[in-house]
């Protein structure tokens, strides 16, 4: 390898690493804002923060193609931002303004975006898996070389729809990538109090779906695995399953007193903060400098301030439109 190639590579690597860092910081900052705005009463309903899990969304989205479809959960701000839904449209949705990506009708749990093939936010645990199977079936029937990535939590694995969806996808060799965000808890229920078998790979493999476990606090590992496995799924190898081991730093939602886990456990995981970890690593490798990080910070802060401003300036849908979008044709 010549010096030129090596330095080009390292430039590329730095650039890409910066993208990853930037994306994770965007999510973190966006959600910190959301928490504030929740306290201020600007955002209401349920608000499920993703803080601590950013590496999964960012790494996974980097590994997917723009043609792929995304099916997500109620904890989807990270997925949405990493997928390319603008912070402003997302924040306006959190406010319920009509400039929101779901026209304000959905709020935090129902982020949709046709342009990025983001098929929602779903507030029923496990409810998205059959949709993902169907989206993949449509691609399979029409012969389009793309796939559907389906995010869900460890809690969803206990639902009957997990079983039915993995079986159907495997039976019909559909291009679905099942992405399980195992943050060890479903609300207050730790995985070993919900699953007889806590090694989730074994479950996926029981359908003959190839499965891997990946460190969900390491964005580079997430990206690598997702890209590699997604390529196979898109190529027609059938469905695959990735378990990302991760952790949510915050409460389940804004109403959760967190009686079910120790402070130390939380602190231990915070020591593995995916953003701090990546920063440290990049600095050690000399790929980024403090200045660069500061610059990133400023740009992220500006972006999110703008998003909030955009949401603030957004408009309320008139009450006369209440019955809009129940049916496509109105009779």
Partner 1 sequence: MITTYREAVRTALREALRRDPRVFLMGEDVGRYGGSYGVSKGLLDEFGPERIRDTPLSESTFVGAGIGAALGGLRPIVEVMTVNFSLLALDQIVNNAATIRHMSGGQFSIPLGIRMATGAGRQLAAQHAHSLEGWYAHIPGIRIVTPATLEDARGMLWTALEDPDPVLIFEHQTLYNMEGPLADTAGAVDIDHAAVRRSGSDVSLITYGGTLGRTLQAADELARDGVDAEVIDLRTLRPLDMATIEASVKKTHRVVIVDEGWRSGSLSAEISARLAESLFYDLDAPIARVCTAEVPIPYPKHLEDAALPQTPAIVNAARSMVGARV
Ligand X SMILES: Cc1ncc(C[n+]2csc(CCOP(=O)(O)OP(=O)(O)O)c2C)c(N)n1
- For the segment 86-115, give every residue that binds ligand X (CB under 6 A): none
Report how far apart, in Å, the C-alpha atoms of 323 and of each of 83, 87, 318, 326, 328 are. Answer: 30, 27, 11, 6, 11
Q: Which pair of structure tokens corresponds to residue 121? A: 């936010």
Q: Of 162 and 269, which CB lies nearer to its own copies in the complex structure?
A: 162
Residue with tokens 């590992």: 221
Shortest distance, CB of residue 198 to its own copies, whole angstroms?
10
Shortest distance, CB of residue 76 to ligand X, whole angstroms?
10
Question: SS3 of 203, please?
Answer: helix
Task: Scan residues 116-155 and list those touching Mg ion (CB under 5 A).
Answer: 153-155
Contacts (Cβ under 8 Å, ≥6 apart) of 219: 20, 24, 54, 55, 58, 59, 274, 278
Q: Is residue 164 at the binding interface for its own copies, with CB under 8 A as the rule?
A: yes
Q: Of 31 and 218, which CB lies nearer to partner 1 in the complex structure?
A: 31
Q: Contact region for partner 1 (CB under 8 A) — 1-9, 58-66, 210-218, 254-262?
A: 254-262
Residue 183 touches which of partner 1, ligand X, its own copies, none (CB < 5 to 8 A by kind)? ligand X
Task: Scan residues 164-193 and list those touching Mg ion (CB under 5 A).
Answer: 183, 186
Q: Is residue 193 at the binding interface for partner 1, with CB under 8 A as the rule?
A: yes
Q: Is residue 124 at the binding interface for its own copies, with CB under 8 A as the rule?
A: no
Q: Which pair of structure tokens corresponds to residue 256? A: 């959760």
Per-residue binding letters, 62-91, with ligand X (x by CB under 6 A): -------------x----------------
Contacts (Cβ under 8 Å, ≥6 apart) of 213: 200, 201, 242, 243, 244, 245
CA-CA distance, 207 to 133, in Å (whole number)?
A: 14
Q: What is the DSSP string of 107-145?
A: GGG---BTTTTB----SSTTTHHHHHHHHHHHHHHHT-S
CA-CA distance, 64 to 67, in Å (whole number)?
A: 8
Q: Contact region for ligand X (CB under 6 A) — 16-24, 36-44, 151-159, 305-313?
A: 151-159
Per-residue binding letters, 257-286, with partner 1 (x by CB under 8 A): x-xx--------------------------
Task: Scan residues 220-249 and list those touching partner 1 (CB under 8 A).
Answer: none
Task: Scan residues 267-326 and list those touching ligand X (CB under 6 A).
Answer: none
10: β partners: none
Q: Do residues 240 and 233 make contact, with C-beta atoms less than 8 angstroms apart?
A: yes
Give the full edge-to-edge strand order of the sheet including 240-245: 69-71, 148-153, 176-182, 240-245, 211-215
Shortest distance, CB of residue 49 to its own copies, whole angstroms?
28
Out of 59, 78, 107, 153, name the contact with ligand X by CB under 6 A: 153
Q: Contact region for ligand X (CB under 6 A) — 2-10, 33-41, 154-162, 294-302?
A: 154-162
Q: Of 48 and 203, which CB lies nearer to its own copies in the complex structure?
A: 203
């Amino acid at each position: 390898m010549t010096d030129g190639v090596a330095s080009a590579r390292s430039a590329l690597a730095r650039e890409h690493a910066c993208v990853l860092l930037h994306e994770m910081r965007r999510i973190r900052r966006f959600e910190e804002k959301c928490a504030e705005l929740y306290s201020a009463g600007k955002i209401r309903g349920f608000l499920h923060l993703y803080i601590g899990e950013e590496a999964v969304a960012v790494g996974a989205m980097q590994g997917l193609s723009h043609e792929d479809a995304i099916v997500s959960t109620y904890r989807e701000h990270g997925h949405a931002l990493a997928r390319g839904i603008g912070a402003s449209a997302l924040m306006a949705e959190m406010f319920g303004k009509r400039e929101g990506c779901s026209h304000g009708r959905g709020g935090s749990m129902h982020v949709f975006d046709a342009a990025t093939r983001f098929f929602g936010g779903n507030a029923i645990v496990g409810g998205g898996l059959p949709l993902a199977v169907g989206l993949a079936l449509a691609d399979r029937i029409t012969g389009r070389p793309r796939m559907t990535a389906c995010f869900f939590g460890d809690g969803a694995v206990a639902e009957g729809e997990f079983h039915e969806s993995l079986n159907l996808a495997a039976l019909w060799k559909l291009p679905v990538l099942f992405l399980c965000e195992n943050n060890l808890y479903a609300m207050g229920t730790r995985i070993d109090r919900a699953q007889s078998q806590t090694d989730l790979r074994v479950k996926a493999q029981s359908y003959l779906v190839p499965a891997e476990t990946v460190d969900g606090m390491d964005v580079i590992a997430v990206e690598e695995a997702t890209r590699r496995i997604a390529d196979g799924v898109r190529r027609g190898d059938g469905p695959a399953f990735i378990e990302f081991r991760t952790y949510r730093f915050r409460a389940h939602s804004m109403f959760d007193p967190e009686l079910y886990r120790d402070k130390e456990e939380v602190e231990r995981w915070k020591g593995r903060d995916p953003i701090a970890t990546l920063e440290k690593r990049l600095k050690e490798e000399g790929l980024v400098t403090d200045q660069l990080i500061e610059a990133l910070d400023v740009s992220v802060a500006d972006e999110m301030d703008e998003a909030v401003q955009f949401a603030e300036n957004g408009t309320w849908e008139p009450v006369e439109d209440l019955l809009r979008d129940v049916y496509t044709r109105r009779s």
